[in-house]
Structure 1
Amino acid sequence: MKALCWQGVNDLSVEEVPDPGIRNRQDAVVKVLASTTCGSDLHLLGGYIPAMRAGDVIGHEFLGEIVEVGPDVSRHKVGDRVVVCSFIGCGRCWYCENDLWSLCDNSNTNPGIAQAMWGYETGGVFGYSHAMGGFRGAHAEYVRVPYADQGAFPVPEGVDDASAVFASDAAPTGWMGADLGGVKPGDTVAVWGCGAVGQMAARAAMLLGAERVVAIDRLPERLDMTRRRIGCETLDYTATDVGAELRELTGGRGPDVCIEAVGMEAHDTGPQHWYDKAKQMTRLQTERPAAVREAIHACRKGGSVFVLGVYAGLADKFPLGAMMNKGLTLRGAQMHGHRYIPMLLDRIAKGELSTGHLATHTMPLDEAPKGYDLFKNKKDGCVRAVFRPAG
């Protein structure tokens, strides 16, 4: 079969790789109907995520049709159209039973790497390094899905592929930021980043009752899309002092909840950006945490900051004093998608959550390297490139 393979830093190619098959009784094999790029994939391209090997198949956000099931799969059958969660959860460990699916004890087949990096292993992820289990990714014609009864979810009739694919990762990630960030009716919420996850976090905050939501970015087309399709206010951080604007909008207090949806390659203005970039490129730190710093400083006293962007290791100039002295609650997580995906598919079916507009570029899998070039370099207004293996 064809698949998009990581060959090295900023080097992707479509190659022939062996077809997947059933390896465990709880597996399913899914024929991919659509997969999409994700901002966290760019950290793989840049070489900032360890434990990648040449030939690894990347991609973790997808939906498809089940073509084979193991003997212990009871909730799905051949022919079902399903969204598959990017994280893999067993459904029976302590973490899965407590809805902390991305922390599954049983799905990461290479726990030692993550234990060395973070003290404990995470759950497994499709197409996201051997530190996350070394699973083949979703930019392929077929994918083996472990624990299929837990991680694959039927797509409602009437929901098209271009909308449903974002229920795999972007929509549940954004919803988790608003939910676990503690958004309540009447809150003012600020979201850093107007990519797919940031837009989904902003919409989630609105649906959870926030009185005012402000999304922050620098790209005019993303700011415009967020205003038109999500319906919240926006700020261009290159044109204004974000902290001052947020204080002005909130009567001097600051947002109740700040959601960071940018990650380890954040852009910034001024000399701090070049400081961070130089340290990251020379591997003296792994992150460029400009958005996290700004969120912590902008949040009101006693407020909540939730980190959705992906980070790998260590960050310099972290404002620990601001966090402690302001009495902030700081949380972060990889996506516990299993707890949100069924609800989100239902909201998409009812028209409460719009996701299809995020697919600004659709192309065959053969053109995936071009799609990543558009996505990485923000060309032609690309928010997400969606690949269809069948063309």
Structure 2
Amino acid sequence: TGVMPSKKIQLFYHRNYYILKYIKIENFNFELFLFIFWKKCDLHKLEEGPPLQAVLTREEGLQYYRTMQTIRRMELKADQLYKQKIIRGFCHLYDGQEACAVGIETGINLSDHLITAYRAHGYTLTRGGTVREIMAELTGRRGGIAKGKGGSMHMYTKHFYGGNGIVGAQVPLGAGVALACKYLGNNEICVCLYGDGAANQGQIFETYNMASLWKLPCIFICENNKYGMGTSVERAAASTDYYKRGDFIPGLRLDGMDVLCVREATKFAAEHCRSGKGPILMELQTYRYHGHSMSDPGVSYRTREEIQEVRSKSDPISMLKDRMLSNNMASVEELKEIDVEVRKEIEDAAQFATTDPEPPLDDLCNHIFYNDPPMEVRGTNPWTKLKSVS
């Protein structure tokens, strides 16, 4: 809209996207941004879907790149520390799915609420946690985001409710948060995430029913990374159209490897919920590079060639990087500088996570109750003095 002085316009085809580039030049002050077009989302019970184009500014592009690179490098460091037996127990990594976390976060507000399953490190970061706190939690240290007591699956920040280890159980919890939002009338929503492996859980369908009846402001998001543990979606589900699973709840399916596509779809879904229309369901088609967890090598049920093909054609970080470089929104040197800064942040966090003390044994029974325990419960008295017998 309006008049753009001294403008140069280009339209060209690149990696399945139509890109319209504007370069505004005025007194040598460069403002660079892209209009990016993509394939229409698949819709269910919706007359209109999200817009088919979006604006990406240089500042946004650099921020998205930094955040996705931070998640990627953090997960690769966690892989290394796990193999060194510094991280123990369950550990489910998020590399490959970074566009989901960053796209969702940029489509909602920090005052909105989010709950997910155990593949939670990326969301802990986008919800306000630091790399230092996340890494220290993974190693069970006092400086961890849950003070070393939660580990990989149980991390929390303000308006972020984990990190939940029971498959699908976070979905009804998220609906409860959405009910609170509606009750309080604060115009907030809850984003409730689960994987394709959890999509067949009965409690999810019960939650759909309640959320629809009560018109709860809840975005149900299935992160379909193609495999539930070691089982492909085709072998586990009679219908793999997860965005239609809500039946009476409208849904949409989109490319979860494209951060801008996810951002615009999330904005659309958030507006749907805030306008009082009730819940909506999104299916993000994505991919995980690691196995289901660190105990799964991830190559017994899929080939290395399959993983490499996704990396070469659909990697979320590479796609964003290529867009920015091919449109002169950033230089190779600039992005390399971000890479160096991210690596240093990860290394500093790993150093802290391996040197920070473990929580003292006396802390084990703390934070079980909000205040005084209502009754004597064996083994949970916060004044019980424990000692190690190992």
- Per the TM superposition, whether the score is higher than 0.5 is no
TM-score by length of 1: 0.31
TM-score by length of 2: 0.31
The structure having more radius of gyration, on CA atoms, is 2
